[in-house]
Structure formats: structure tokens, C-alpha cells
């Protein structure tokens, strides 16, 4: 492991107010999103959709790195150019999701453990050889009656730390993603409490496993009320709670925090990230960035709907969301950006 290279890559991922584009949905997740919109769920449609994303003109102005999936990293444009090369040529750093998914945690009803450590060293070597320079592993923590348990938090934190150590050994920056889920009726305060406990446990495990904090990125949830909680706090209150929680839990040596969107609307995710940067940027030890999947892709996917004729409009929508989030990193995002005629894509084919 070359520590300086890791540190340089981690810093490059959060440089220039850019962020990450998560396009690493597993095949079942991608198929589920396609099914909702009536898009055929085939290897070719997944490939065509990912080609749309990686060939979006100007994407590199807002996106520093793109997270791929095992199928996607092996795929090519119609003309035979590997997606990894398309991204690298555009100045976007390719990354790869390396966990193999969240499975039921034995003895803990309603809770999950993320798997994928077996054989990980060999898979990382292969991905690195294919051009990936960073990786992602997502742990999911559900909030509910009597959960999360210590058992769930500790096993997931341990797995995240072992994954992160293996990544750094392979020369790849680990994006460490412990996601406290939005699903449920819990309050903002409860999310804050759980997120703080999870992050403190994760950083304790990262320390025990000898992970270099300067060579990693943290990908947490924002601190939010549960999606069915009757009290939904305003944007600034979410920004305050998130910052308070992160300041208590995340060491200053970490170069960047790149939030997941977790099912928030695209506009709210941008507005909340913006509020954090407006209110706290000058006082934070880490960059406050984004690593969104749905909050960047969903509007584009809804426009595309599997139709070649909609590719250009979908790319405009994707670029628009990416630019909104770059503006949010600068604290320059506003609702007016959503109305600008220059950025509202026109459909070339009506959606059925």
C-alpha cells in the first residue's frame, strides 16, 4: 500500500466542490427500478442505461468519481469502449461496489448484516487491475422498536473495518457507508442518537483494524426524521442535527464526508446539503460532499424509460442534478435552479 496515493485519491474524490455518482445498483435493485417504469430488465437495457450515464456531456464538471457494479465495470459502450475508459478519459475516477449485499442477521429479527468479505482480497486485486481506484461497502441499520441492537451495529462496523483495511492494502480508497435507514416513524432525535452510536462504533473498529483515516471517505446518512414520522423538520434543522452528530463522531483526519440520499427527493437532498455548507462549511474539518444514486439518477431514469429518443433529455436531467449538488457544496444552490429554462430537459418522446 502506498499511503500517499490513497490520500491523494481520497482528496481528489472531494476536490473542487465535486461529488460521487453512485451507479452501482446491483442487478436486482436496478431491475426493480426499471420494472417500476416498465423498462425491460435485461443485461442490454442495464448496459444502455449505464452508457447513457457515462457519456453524459459535461458530467465531469460536477462528478469526481463514479461507483460501478460488478456487471457494469465489465461493460462497454456500443462502440466497444469500456465504461472504465470512458470515465477515466473524462477525468472521472472509477470505483466499484464490493459488498455482496445485506442478508438477515441470525438471531436478530428485522436486522441485516452485509456480506462479501470472503474472497474480497482477490476481487479487489482484479478490480484494481481493471482500473478501479476506490470501493464501496454499504451496511444497513434499521431503526424500530428495540432496534438497532448492539449485535447488529458491532457486526456491521467490524465488517466495514475489515473491508476498509483490505481496500487500503490493495491501494484502493474505501468509501465506508453505514446507512441508518429513513424507513419508519422514528424522530430526528432518535436518528441522531442511532447515527452517533453507529459512527462511533465504526470509527472504533476502523482504528482497531489500522485503517488510515486520511485515505478513506465516509458515506453516511443525513440525520433525518423517519419517512413516516409525523414531525418533519425544516431543512436548516436537519442541517444542524446532522452537523452536530458528525462533529461528535467523525475524526478530523477524514478528508471527506459524502452523503447518501437514502430515498429523499432529489430537491430536498440538494437543499439539505446546501444548508450544511452555507451554515458550517468554514468551520468543518472535512469536505461535505455527496455520493447520491437516486437523488442524481431518478429524474433522468424517469425521462429515459428505455427509449433511445429520450437519451439526450435524460442526460440533461442527470447533468442538472449533478450541477445542483455541486452548487450545494458551494452553498450556492437555490430552488430557482430547478426552474431555470436552460436546465429543464425537454422530452423528445412522450412518456406513456
Task: Give yes or no for residue 260 binding ligand 13P (CB under 6 A).
Answer: yes
Instruction: For ligand 13P, give the closer residue by CB, 293 or 301.
Output: 293
Instruction: For ligand 13P, give the closer residue by CB, 26 or 128.
Output: 26
Calpha distance 261→224 (Å, rounded): 11
Distance of CA 214 to the CA centre of its chain: 19
Task: Give yes or no for residue 181 binding ligand 13P (CB under 6 A).
Answer: no
Candidates 82-90, 120-128, 165-173, 286-294: pick the segment binding ligand 13P (CB under 6 A): 286-294
Q: Pick the catalytic residue: 18, 97, 112, 219?
A: 219
* Residue-by-residue DSSP string for 302-337: HHHTT-GGGHHHHHHHHHHHHHHHHHHHHT---GGG
Task: Give yes or no for residue 99 binding ligand 13P (CB under 6 A).
Answer: no
Task: Give yes or no for residue 19 binding ligand 13P (CB under 6 A).
Answer: no
Residues linked to residue 94 through DSSP beta bridges, in sequence order: 66
E-strand ranges in the chain read 19-22, 63-68, 93-97, 102-104, 112-114, 134-141, 173-180, 217-218, 256-259, 287-292
Instruction: For ligand 13P, give the closer residue by CB, 48 or 295.
Output: 295
Is residue 103 annotated as part of the catalytic site, yes or no? Answer: no
For 245, phi then psi, to 5°, come to: -65, -45
Instruction: For ligand 13P, give the closer residue by CB, 300 or 312.
Output: 300
Task: Give yes or no for residue 176 binding ligand 13P (CB under 6 A).
Answer: no
- Candidates 123, 138, 162, 329; binder of ligand 13P (CB under 6 A) is 138
Task: Give yes or no for residue 120 binding ligand 13P (CB under 6 A).
Answer: no
Task: Give yes or no for residue 13 binding ligand 13P (CB under 6 A).
Answer: no
Q: Pick the catalytic residue: 25, 177, 179, 243?
A: 177
CA-based nearest residue to 92, from 145, 122, 123, 55:
55
The count of residues in the chain is: 352
Instruction: For ligand 13P, give the closer residue by CB, 99 or 312.
Output: 99
Instruction: For ligand 13P, give the closer residue by CB, 49 or 312.
Output: 49
Candidates 71-79, 246-254, 257-265, 339-347: pick the segment binding ligand 13P (CB under 6 A): 257-265
Is residue 339 annotated as part of the catalytic site, yes or no? Answer: no
- Candidates 51, 177, 240, 243; binder of ligand 13P (CB under 6 A) is 177
User: Long-range CB contacts (< 8 A, 24+ apart) of 74-81?
Assistant: 74/130, 75/47, 75/50, 75/51, 76/47, 77/51, 78/51
b/e per residue, 81-114, with b = 16+ CB within 10 A?
Answer: ebbbebbeebebbbbbbbbbebeebeebeebbbb
Residue 72 is given by DSSP the state G
Task: Give yes or no for residue 34 binding ligand 13P (CB under 6 A).
Answer: no
**Residues near 232 by beta carbon (within 8 Å), at least 6 away in sequence:** 225
Strands 256-259 and 217-218: parallel
Task: Give yes or no for residue 295 binding ligand 13P (CB under 6 A).
Answer: yes
Q: How far is the CB of 352 from ligand 13P (least distance, A)?
A: 25
- Candidates 293, 314, 322, 327; binder of ligand 13P (CB under 6 A) is 293
Q: How far is the CB of 160 from ligand 13P (least distance, A)?
A: 13
Binding site for ligand 13P (CB under 6 A): 22, 138, 177, 260-262, 292-295
Residues with a catalytic annotation lie at 177, 219
Amino acid at each position: 500500500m502506498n499511503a500517499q496515493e490513497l490520500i491523494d485519491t481520497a482528496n481528489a474524490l472531494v476536490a473542487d466542490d465535486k461529488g460521487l455518482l453512485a451507479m452501482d445498483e446491483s442487478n436486482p435493485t436496478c431491475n426493480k427500478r426499471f420494472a417500476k417504469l416498465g423498462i425491460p430488465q435485461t443485461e442490454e437495457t442495464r448496459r444502455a442505461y449505464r452508457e447513457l450515464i457515462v457519456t453524459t456531456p459535461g458530467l465531469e464538471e460536477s462528478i469526481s468519481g463514479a461507483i460501478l457494479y460488478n456487471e457494469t465495470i465489465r461493460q462497454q459502450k456500443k462502440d466497444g469502449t469500456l465504461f472504465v475508459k470512458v470515465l477515466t478519459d473524462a477525468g472521472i475516477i472509477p470505483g466499484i461496489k464490493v459488498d455482496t449485499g445485506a442478508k438477515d442477521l441470525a438471531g436478530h429479527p428485522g436486522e441485516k448484516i452485509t456480506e462479501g468479505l470472503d474472497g474480497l482480497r482477490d476481487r479487489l486485486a482484479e478490480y484494481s487491475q481493471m482500473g478501479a481506484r476506490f470501493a464501496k461497502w454499504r451496511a444497513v441499520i434499521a431503526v424500530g422498536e428495540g432496534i438497532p441492537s448492539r449485535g447488529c451495529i458491532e457486526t456491521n462496523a467490524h465488517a466495514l473495518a475489515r473491508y476498509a483495511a483490505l481496500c487500503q492494502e490493495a491501494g484502493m480508497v474505501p468509501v465506508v457507508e453505514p446507512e441508518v435507514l429513513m424507513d419508519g416513524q422514528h424522530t430526528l432525535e432518535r436518528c441522531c442518537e442511532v447515527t452517533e452510536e453507529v459512527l462511533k462504533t465504526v470509527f472504533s473498529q476502523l482504528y482497531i483494524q489500522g485503517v488510515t483515516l486520511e485515505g478513506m471517505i465516509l458515506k453516511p446518512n443525513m440525520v433525518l426524521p423517519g419517512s413516516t414520522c409525523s414531525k418533519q423538520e425544516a431543512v436548516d434543522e436537519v442541517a444542524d442535527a446532522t452537523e452536530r452528530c458528525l462533529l461528535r463522531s467523525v475524526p478530523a483526519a477524514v478528508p471527506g464526508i459524502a452523503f447518501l440520499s437514502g430515498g429523499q427527493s432529489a430537491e430536498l437532498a440538494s437543499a439539505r446539503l446546501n444548508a450544511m455548507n452555507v451554515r458550517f462549511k468554514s468551520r468543518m474539518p472535512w469536505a461535505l460532499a455527496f455520493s447520491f444514486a437516486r437523488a442524481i439518477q431518478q429524474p433522468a431514469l424517469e425521462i429515459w424509460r428505455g427509449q433511445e429518443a429520450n437519451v439526450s433529455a435524460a442526460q440533461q436531467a442527470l447533468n442538472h442534478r449533478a450541477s445542483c449538488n455541486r452548487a450545494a457544496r458551494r452553498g450556492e444552490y437555490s430552488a430557482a435552479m430547478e426552474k431555470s429554462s436552460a436546465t429543464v430537459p425537454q422530452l423528445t418522446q412522450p412518456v406513456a
